[in-house]
Every structure is written in structure tokens, then in C-alpha cells.
């Protein structure tokens, strides 16, 4: 990322990672990402908001040198995760007078994760401010987006909110500001689904908190900067709300075709009833796409054959992920088959304990589906339609 000026004296100095395709060795990043860092020059003091992933440290240092930054007084750490904090030790070496400004919980994590000595810290808490001369930083504690120590930094004079991971997007782009909201919407929704969705309750609180601020620009830690922030605030409000849509998500796996024959019939039955369906073959799907679909849907139906008396491992992985992401689903069910017996249904149901869902009668059959099995699938589709109607989703 080249150095870009957001406003007079406020610069983006982070790094674009065009090639990264996996985060935490788990989350697919089809469009790369960026690690955003921001330099704020006050009349007396200079502050750096966050750093970059250690793999891109040289880009941050080069950007600071390009700007001719001779002195950094404060390195504000909004979040201890290493994609933002990992280059703090090198920045502290380069600027020996700099203090790391963060909250006590983040300080403790930075000491554990990066072995930063205690004397390098200046701790702040909710509502504290830090004078840079003609500019003032204010700190807002915002735990659980998506770690317990996360916070926002607000530059009141310029109405800029530095929101750490919150409201961000995994998107590598050369454009400083959002230019195509449709593209950013998809990347931000993927990011929300994969990272923020389990913390929906905290997210609602933080949205309410920042609605009291005057904000012209939101500068997140990943993806482009929002110069029309209403777009992302509205999207987050919708995603984090309790509203669900007339949608059924169908992640499935099939070994010899019995389960896939059932899924094909069932999905058509849902479409015939006017329900939106998103079907994911778990051996081929990008799990990020599945996570995104879960943001809005009312119902999930997991399809699995029986392997070694239990669910197929791909179905186990999907059920584990769905349970961990805690989407606002209302209903769940299971479709599948077995050769001679097993506990597939019970094991999948037992993995969904985090979800506040009503389990609708599963359809689990022996062997290839017969006429009566298709009727059962039709009954399940009817039941889902009835539930969606009762909840006024249709
Ligand atoms: Fe982008 Fe939670 O780190």
C-alpha cells in the first residue's frame, strides 16, 4: 500500500496483502486483504494507529520512511491480534521514545504475545483522551469484536473513527476509499460472517455506542476506508439484527448418491414452495460462502450419509462451524441415509447446542430413497414453509 492522505495530516501507511488466501489457517480470503495502519500528525505529537502483519513489516517501515517520520510518540494498539500488532516491536525499536497506548487487557496480551516490556506502555480506558496538540484521540472500549481486548480510537476533531477489525473487509484494493459499495458489501459480509457473527450481541451494543458520535470517516483495520460510513453501518445493523429471511441453507455431502438424490428432491420442493434455498456441496464449497449464507437465513438443513455409524466428517466439520458461528437461525433439520444403522442424526443434533433453533423432524432413511421417503421430504418442506409463515417471513 502506498502512502495515502485521508485528510490533512492523517495518512494510511499500512500494507496490502494481494496474495493471502487463508487467515488463521482457516478462513478463505478469495480477494486478499490489507493490514491498515494510520499515522496522525498533531501539532505536538505524532501517533501511529496499529501496525501491520509481521510479513509486511518492511512495507510499513518503508511508508514511514517515505513520509519522513522522524518521531512517533504513541503507537495506539486497538487490537492485540498479530495481523495488527505484530510489527509493534520493530516500530518501538525504530522509535525508541514511542509508547504503546492501549487498554489494560490489550497491554497484558501484547506482553504475552509479543514480549513487549511493561515500561513501554501507557494504559487508557473508556473515555480517556490523549492530546496530540491540535488534535485529540479518544478511546472507546469495544470488547468482543472479536477478541476481549478490542477498542476503537476516535479522532474527534476530524470525525474519524478507527474501528479495528469492526466494520472491516478482507479485500485487497489499491483504492484508499470505498468506490464500489457492492464489492465491499460482499467482502465485509464475508468478514462479518466469519469473524463477527458469534458476537452479535456485543456488535449491537457497539453500533449503539458509536451512533452517539459524529463520524465522517470510518478507518477499519482491513479493507478500504469508508468516506460514506452510513453504508457499512446500515449493513451491520441489518446483519446483527434479530431479523431472519425466508431462506433455507442446505450444506450436504453424499458418498454414493442416496443423500444427494434426497437433497435434489428436497431443494426443488422448497423452491416450489417459494422459499429461497442456498445449497452447498461440502466437498467443493468455500466455507466462507456458507458462513455468509448463514447471516440471514431462518433455517438450516444438513445432509449427510452415515460413515462408521456417525455423520460424514465433512458434515461434522460443517456442523461444528455452524455451531461456533452462532448464526441467528430459528429452525434446523437433518436429511440423510444409512446402510445398516448408526447415530448420525443424534450426533449432528448434539453438535448444534449453541443454536437457539427448533429441530424439525429429520428425514433419515435406509438406503436409496423410495416413494414414501420423497413424501417425507415433501412433508419437511411443508413444515418449514409453515414455520416461516408463522414467523411472517413469507
Ligand atoms: Fe484483523 Fe482480529 O485481527
Average pLDDT of span 120-138: 98
Half-sphere exposure of residue 274, counting CA atoms within 13 Å on the CB side? 6
Q: 20 in ligand 1 pocket by Cβ < 6 Å?
A: no
- β-strands 15-17, 33-35: how paired? antiparallel
Average pLDDT of span 125-151: 97
Average pLDDT of span 73-82: 98
The C-alpha atoms of residue 46 and residue 166 are separated, in whole angstroms, by 24
**Residue 233 φ/ψ, nearest 5 degrees:** -65, -40
Residue nearest to atom 2 of ligand 1 (CA): 81
4-240: CATH topology is: Metallo-beta-lactamase; Chain A (3.60.15)
The C-alpha atoms of residue 89 and residue 98 are separated, in whole angstroms, by 11
List, for residues 362-385, the tens digit of each pLDDT value.
999 999 999 999 999 999 999 999
**Residue 241 φ/ψ, nearest 5 degrees:** -65, 175
Confidence of residue 43 (pLDDT cuts 50, 70, 90): very high
Could you count the other beta carbons within 10 Å of the beta carbon of residue 94? 15
Q: 79 in ligand 1 pocket by Cβ < 6 Å?
A: yes
Residue nearest to atom 3 of ligand 1 (CA): 81
Of the candidates 80, 77, 78, 69, the one whose C-alpha atom is nearest the C-alpha of residue 46 is 69
Q: 53 in ligand 1 pocket by Cβ < 6 Å?
A: no
Average pLDDT of span 307-327: 96
388 CA from centroid of ligand 1 (Å): 36
pTM confidence score? 0.95
Q: 81 in ligand 1 pocket by Cβ < 6 Å?
A: yes
| Alpha-carbon 323 to chain mean position | 15
The C-alpha atoms of residue 145 and residue 66 are separated, in whole angstroms, by 32
- Per-residue pLDDT at 27: 78
Q: 149 in ligand 1 pocket by Cβ < 6 Å?
A: no
Residue nearest to atom 1 of ligand 1 (CA): 165
| Domain range 248-387, its CATH number among 3.40.50.10320, 3.40.50.300, 3.40.630.30, 3.40.50.360 | 3.40.50.360
- Per-residue pLDDT at 26: 75
- Tell me: pLDDT of 1 over 70: no
Half-sphere exposure of residue 30, counting CA atoms within 13 Å on the CB side? 12
Quickly tell me which residue has 504475545 as its cell: 113
56 CA from centroid of ligand 1 (Å): 15
Q: Is the bond preceding 252 in cis, omega lying within 30 degrees of 0?
A: no
Confidence of residue 111 (pLDDT cuts 50, 70, 90): very high
Least confident of 19-28, 60-69, 82-91: 19-28
Q: 189 in ligand 1 pocket by Cβ < 6 Å?
A: no
111 CA from centroid of ligand 1 (Å): 17
- Per-residue pLDDT at 141: 98
- Per-residue pLDDT at 28: 83
Q: 83 in ligand 1 pocket by Cβ < 6 Å?
A: yes
Question: Residue 162 in 3-state DSSP?
Answer: strand
- 128: which 3 cell numbers? 480517556
248-387 matches 4-240 in CATH topology: no
Confidence of residue 23 (pLDDT cuts 50, 70, 90): confident
Quickly tell me which residue has 479518544 as its cell: 138
- Tell me: pLDDT of 196 over 80: yes
- Per-residue pLDDT at 147: 97
Q: Buried (b) or exposed (e) across 109-125, using 16+ Cβ within 10 A?
A: bbbeebebeeebbbbbe
- Tell me: pLDDT of 24 over 80: no
CA torsion, points 307, 309, 311, 312, in degrees to nearest 10? -10
Of the candidates 332, 343, 333, 364, the one whose C-alpha atom is nearest the C-alpha of residue 258 is 364
Q: 388 in ligand 1 pocket by Cβ < 6 Å?
A: no
Beta strands, E only, 192-274: 217-219, 245-252
Confidence of residue 217 (pLDDT cuts 50, 70, 90): very high
Q: Which one-letter DSSP state was computed for residue 197? A: G
Could you count the other beta carbons within 10 Å of the beta carbon of residue 354? 13
What does the domain layout of the chain look like in residue ranges?
4-240, 248-387
Please give the mean pLDDT across all residues of the chain: 96
Amino acid at each position: 500500500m502506498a502512502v495515502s492522505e485521508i485528510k490533512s495530516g492523517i495518512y494510511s501507511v499500512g500494507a496490502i496483502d494481494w496474495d493471502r488466501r487463508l487467515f488463521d489457517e482457516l478462513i478463505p480470503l478469495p480477494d486478499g486483504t490489507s493490514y491498515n495502519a494510520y499515522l496522525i500528525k498533531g501539532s505536538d505529537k505524532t501517533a501511529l494507529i496499529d501496525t501491520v502483519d509481521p510479513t509486511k513489516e518492511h512495507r510499513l517501515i518503508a511508508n514511514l520512511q517515505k513520509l519522513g517520520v522522524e518521531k512517533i510518540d504513541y503507537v495506539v494498539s486497538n487490537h492485540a491480534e498479530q495481523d495488527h500488532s505484530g510489527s509493534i516491536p520493530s516500530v518501538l525499536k525504530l522509535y525508541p521514545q514511542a509508547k504503546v497506548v492501549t487498554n489494560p487487557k490489550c497491554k497484558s496480551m501484547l506482553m504475552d504475545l509479543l514480549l513487549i516490556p511493561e515500561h513501554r506502555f501507557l494504559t487508557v480506558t473508556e473515555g480517556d483522551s490523549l492530546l496530540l496538540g491540535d488534535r485529540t484521540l479518544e478511546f472507546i472500549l469495544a470488547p468482543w469484536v472479536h477478541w476481549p481486548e478490542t477498542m476503537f480510537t476516535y479522532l474527534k476533531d476530524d470525525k474519524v473513527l478507527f474501528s479495528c477489525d469492526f466494520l472491516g473487509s478482507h479485500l485487497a484494493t489499491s483504492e484508499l476509499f470505498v468506490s464500489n459499495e457492492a464489492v465491499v458489501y460482499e467482502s465485509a459480509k464475508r468478514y462479518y460472517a466469519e469473524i463477527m457473527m458469534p458476537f452479535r450481541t456485543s456488535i449491537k451494543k457497539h453500533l449503539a455506542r458509536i451512533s452517539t458520535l459524529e463520524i465522517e470517516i470510518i478507518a477499519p483495520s482491513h479493507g478500504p476506508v469508508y468516506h460514506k460510513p452510513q453504508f457499512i453501518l446500515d449493513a451491520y445493523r441489518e446483519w446483527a439484527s434479530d431479523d431472519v429471511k425466508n431462506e433455507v441453507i442446505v450444506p450436504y455431502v453424499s458418498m454414493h448418491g442416496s443423500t444427494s438424490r434426497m437433497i435434489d428432491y428436497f431443494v426443488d420442493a422448497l423452491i416450489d414452495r417459494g422459499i429461497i434455498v442456498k445449497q452447498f456441496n461440502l466437498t467443493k464449497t468455500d466455507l466462507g460462502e456458507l458462513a455468509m449464507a448463514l447471516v440471514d437465513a431462518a433455517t438450516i438443513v444438513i445432509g449427510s450419509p452415515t460413515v462408521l455409524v456417525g455423520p460424514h466428517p465433512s458434515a461434522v466439520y460443517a456442523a461444528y462451524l455452524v455451531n461456533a458461528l452462532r448464526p441467528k437461525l430459528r429452525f434446523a433439520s437433518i436429511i440423510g441415509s444409512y446402510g445398516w444403522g448408526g447415530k448420525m442424526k443424534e450426533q449432528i443434533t448434539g453438535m448444534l447446542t449453541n443454536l437457539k433453533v427448533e429441530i424439525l423432524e429429520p428425514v433419515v432413511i435406509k438406503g436409496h430413497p423410495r416413494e414414501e421417503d420423497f413424501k417425507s421430504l415433501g412433508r419437511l418442506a411443508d413444515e418449514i414453509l409453515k414455520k416461516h409463515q408463522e414467523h411472517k417471513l413469507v
